[in-house]
Amino acid sequence: MTEASFLSSIRRGYDTIAEDYFSHFPRELPGHPVDHGMLTAFVELVRGSGLGPVADIGCGPGWLTDHFNSLGLNTFGIDLSPAMIAIARREFPGVRFEIGSMTELDVPDASLGGLIAHYSIMHVPDEKIPALFQGFHRALAPGGHLLFAFQIGDEFRVRTEAHGHQVEISYHLRPPERVAGWLRDAGFETMATLTREIDAEWEKAPRAFLLARKPLSA
């Protein structure tokens, strides 16, 4: 099967910047205290459900995957970029990381207790989102939780320079209500939506977190 062009472009871009991207941030999980509040809520909900492991989809160099494991949550990371996965395995050798695509999630049906996509669904075109979310629904156990973080807006952008490299990394800014609608169509129940304004020099758009659950009867 021929790979979608957007996947090839994203892989090349992140392979190119991987080492500089990792060096740009501190080793610990970067982010805003408000963001960490939503991440903590997700951890508590997944832990309380007593279901399967968590998949960190688009894990990059593995900060969040390692953070969740440090909190006692069985979490593994998946990323499209072999270079990012190589860094994650090097920096966090006790954590499981796999090369893979969120559009072809290679896990058994109903095997996950949680799924997080931390600024990664933004790279998927609108027309691919319904099938993507249906795949997430298939992978989650009934009662499993899902958390997205993404940039708020309503436009398509292409980044041509990152960390001193020429790249072509496309991404979408979306209103939270659109993402919530796609989730409902895929069979999820939205539990909470958090939005915050730009609060760092490097941030280019407001941020959203969207927490959802697969119904127990699903």
pLDDT at 132: 97
pLDDT at 23: 86
CB atoms within 10 A of CB 25: 13
pLDDT at 162: 76
pLDDT at 137: 98
The residues, ordered by sequence, that sit 6+ positions from 164 with a Cβ below 8 Å of its Cβ are 20
Determine the 3-state secondary structure of 72 from DSSP.
coil
CB atoms within 10 A of CB 158: 10
pLDDT at 204: 82
**Alpha carbons 67 and 29: distance in angstroms, whole number:** 7
**Alpha carbons 105 and 107: distance in angstroms, whole number:** 6
Strands (E), the chain: 54-57, 75-79, 97-99, 112-118, 140-151, 155-162, 165-173, 189-196, 207-213
pTM for the whole thing?
0.93
pLDDT at 118: 95
Q: Which residues of the chain have pLDDT under 50?
A: none
CATH of domain 5-25+32-152+178-213: 3.40.50.150
pLDDT at 1: 54
pLDDT at 159: 83
Domain ranges of the chain: 5-25+32-152+178-213
